[in-house]
A and B are shown apart, each in its own frame.
Chain A
Amino acid sequence: MEKKITVAIAGNPNSGKTSIFNMLTGARQHVGNYPGVTVEKKEGFGKYKGYKITFVDLPGTYSLTAYSIEELVARNFIIDTRPDVVVDIVDASNIERNLYLATQLIEMNAPLVLAFNMSDIAEQRGLTFDIEQLSELLGTAIVRTVGNKAKGKEQLLEAIIKTAEQGRERRGPKINYGTEIEEELARIEQIVKEGEKELTGKYPARWVAVKLLEQDSEITSKIKDKFIIETVGTSIKHLKNIFRDEPEIVIADRRYGFISGACQETIKSTVELRHSTSDLVDSIVINRILGLPIFLLLMFLTFVLTFKLGKYPMEALELFFNRLSITVAGFFQQGSQSWLKSLLVDGVISGVGGVVVFLPNILLLFLAIAFLEDTGYMARAAFVMDRLMHKIGLHGKSFIPMLIGFGCSLPAIMATRIIENRRNRLTTILVLPLFSCGARLTIYALFIPAFFAEKWQGPMLWLIYLIGIALAFISAKILRLTIFRGETIPFVMELPPYRVPTMKSLAIHMWQRGWLFLRKAGTIILAISIILWAAMSFPKPAEKPLEDVNSERAQQLRLESSIIGRVGKAIEPALRPLGFDWKIGTALIGATAAKEVFVSQLSIIYAVGDSEKSRHTLREKLQANYTPLTAFCVMLFCLISTPCIATVVITRQETASWLWALFQFAALTAMAYIITFVVYQLGSLFF
């Protein structure tokens, strides 16, 4: 019979954790979120010697404190899920700092295996390890690996199985914190054992004692016994007096002491360490003069790749969905009024198809992002943009999704995964729809030539985009001062050495994002398309139109009597102060499905049909019905308001909460209403 085990993969950011995870699991991975938090959870599966192994990729962390969600998630996973083995990926060329996390895992009494990754680079740098002795000193198995070359897989799996078979009752070495701290620890450990039986059933008592001295907020909040709290308080005061510093810092210092003690005997360095190539590249890409142009050029290339190169497969997909709807329509009798046909063709195929056509863009974009990340450039981009982004309370990395947002909000929101900090990430997601996406361009392209003289057309478009950017920056600043206020996670970031990415890792990265996107298109977006279709098709007009059922007049009548048309009319009084009539209202509701729908809805309402030629006639009709001020207000409203349904769904997926998605929807719509109201009312005084 197969035995099942769970293996958690821990490690510092940039330790090559992902490459080891990919090496162990191949492409059989599942991406999701840890329950209730915006932290990505990757799981993969493997088999070895009769064991069925589930690998869980923990968030990359430097430590296991309660200061950041990522660290808490990693720590709680180890404690609550009790994986059979924890593999800590250690960057072999940077042992001392990487082992800091290992000391904490040892203290948690986790069944640990250390993978000394990138050991080839370490050896090139003249580092030699006495693995056997170090393994003895740390009380864990150590395996040399080279993740991006898939070296050491067998040995690592072997060590994992062996550790899993040994079970939990193994003990790593005890890190000695020195007489003064040890005395306090012994006292606290004793009373915790007596007073908090429930807690020590789950956590090792010594670990709880260490955490209490470190003033770990999560563990401290779990202590119910007043006496323990008081004793810990006295101990901390006592230790502060002795060391003239927080016990937390002294404890960290002793951990590093333990590490350097263990390394002294076992690691020899024959050559002085240098990062020469990385330093050379850095002197160019983060140069104060060259840095920004280089970043902008790379971003430009990313865009060209995403949208220009993506155009061809996108057109092919569009063609495919067109053919598909013709084929499906062919199953029904000519001129059939079957609702099933309409559901399949106008609802399902055009709804889901309209979103799936973006798949090539998503794949290409994530290929480019994976490349920039895997090479190590992304950290430099954050460095270059930090000065600007700092002013609005975000940090450099937020700039990348914002740029992508000009293309389409969907990949942009997914790209916020590169931002580790939750508050920054949520702020970025919430303001992203304000970066005017490509679909909204169709609306501007309809209105601007109809209402503005040729020399003003360019500046007008530019103005619309600028308003979006300005509103996004202002909103981000406001969000950071209000709901996302509080501890700003300090901006510290590692600049990893440059590396050549592997094709495999790029491909896995790209495929994961693409799959996530397709899954949503097949489920929620499908459901919403059907609902919107129904709202646009029912109820049917009462009297049967005499003309041909497919005539423009008939389409117009159908839309007028549909739920959307009725709602459009019902909300007309509310839209009046913005200068909008029910026709614009109806088109706006349709635009929530996708922004392009706005134009096709207006075409139906004005009964001009939906083709390039008719766009011209539509412009004439619009000119006859609206003023330039109204036109400007329509564009303004479309720019700010109501992210499309796909955006709402992706926001829900990425924030793991409907609350944020609905908040974004409501807040943007309210903002659009207020701003357009003010502009229209003030504008009416002058024009």
Chain B
Amino acid sequence: MEFSQRPLSGVKAGEKVTLVYIDAGHGLRGRLTAMGLVPGTILTVIKNDRPGPFVINVKNTKVMLGRGMAQKIIVSDTAVQND
């Protein structure tokens, strides 16, 4: 199965996606990793108002991200989940 990859910043509110990789330096990746954003994690976009920050749900926590950061997080569509 092939999923199209795109930056998180383009995902609409309410959509569920899977994290593929984070296109950033060590500091940022380390921080995001500690907050549960590792490849394979399922994210739900809660808020995506342009311009302005971004809110996602990851591992049952709401996390706010700067818009610049959302551009560095590459995601793909999620295969149908039953949760």
Which residues of chain A have a CB within 8 Å of any CB of chain B? 61-63, 65, 67-68, 93-94, 96-97, 100-101, 215, 245-246, 248-249, 252-253, 256, 272-273, 275, 278-279, 282, 286, 288, 379, 382-383, 386-387, 390, 395, 487, 489-497
Q: Is the interface of B mostly helix, strand, loop or mixed?
A: mixed
Complex CA distance for A492 and B31, rounded to whole angstroms? 8
Q: How large is the interface on B (under 10, 10 to 19, 20 to 34, 35 or more residues)?
A: 35 or more
Are B64 and A492 in touch, CB under 8 angstroms?
yes
The minimal Cβ–Cβ distance linking A103 to chain B, given in whole angstroms, is 11
Proximity string of chain B (51-63) to chain A, C-beta cutoff 8 Å, 1 when within and 0 when not:
1110100111111
Task: Give the contacting residue for B40; candidates A68, A253, A278, A379; CB below 8 A.
Answer: A253
Are A386 and B52 in touch, CB under 8 angstroms?
yes
Whether, in the assembled complex, B6 has its beta carbon less than 8 Å from a beta carbon of chain A, the answer is: no
* Known A67-B27, A252-B34, A495-B55; 4 more pairs at CB < 8 Å: A62-B35, A100-B36, A286-B47, A493-B63
Complex CA distance for A279 and B60, rounded to whole angstroms? 12
Question: What residue of chain B has the Cβ atom nearest to residue A380's Cβ?
Answer: B64
The minimal Cβ–Cβ distance linking A233 to chain B, given in whole angstroms, is 15
* CB within 8 Å of A: which B6-53 residues: 21, 24-36, 38-40, 46-47, 49, 51-53
User: Given A383-B64, A490-B66, A491-B65: A249 and B52 within 8 A (CB)?
Assistant: no
Complex CA distance for A272 and B83, rounded to whole angstroms? 8
Residues of B within 8 A of A215 (CB): 26
Question: What residue of chain A has the Cβ atom nearest to residue B29's Cβ?
Answer: A249
Question: What residue of chain A has the Cβ atom nearest to residue B53's Cβ?
Answer: A386
Are B38 and A256 in touch, CB under 8 angstroms?
yes
Residues of B within 8 A of A386 (CB): 52-53, 64, 66
Complex CA distance for A93 and B61, rounded to whole angstroms? 10
Residues of A within 8 A of B66 (CB): 386, 390, 395, 490-492
Complex CA distance for A483 and B42, rounded to whole angstroms? 39
Residues of B within 8 A of A61 (CB): 34
The minimal Cβ–Cβ distance linking A99 to chain B, given in whole angstroms, is 10
Complex CA distance for A65 and B26, rounded to whole angstroms? 10
Residues of B within 8 A of A387 (CB): 51-53
Task: Give the contacting residue for A492; candidates B46, B65, B83; CB below 8 A.
Answer: B65
User: Given A68-B31, A245-B21: A286 and B62 within 8 A (CB)?
Assistant: no
Residues of A within 8 A of B83 (CB): 272
Complex CA distance for A491 and B69, rounded to whole angstroms? 8
The minimal Cβ–Cβ distance linking B27 to chain A, given in whole angstroms, is 5
Residues of A within 8 A of B33 (CB): 63, 248-249, 252
Most buried by A among B28, B34, B49: B34
Proximity string of chain B (63-75) to chain A, C-beta cutoff 8 Å, 1 when within and 0 when not:
1111001000000
Are A62 and B31 in touch, CB under 8 angstroms?
yes
Residues of A within 8 A of B55 (CB): 282, 286, 383, 495
Residues of B within 8 A of A279 (CB): 46
Are A490 and B26 in touch, CB under 8 angstroms?
no
Residues of B within 8 A of A94 (CB): 59-61
Are B63 and A494 in touch, CB under 8 angstroms?
yes
The minimal Cβ–Cβ distance linking A375 to chain B, given in whole angstroms, is 15
User: Given A245-B39, A286-B47, A387-B52: A96 and B31 within 8 A (CB)?
Assistant: no
Are A96 and B59 in touch, CB under 8 angstroms?
yes
Are A492 and B63 in touch, CB under 8 angstroms?
yes
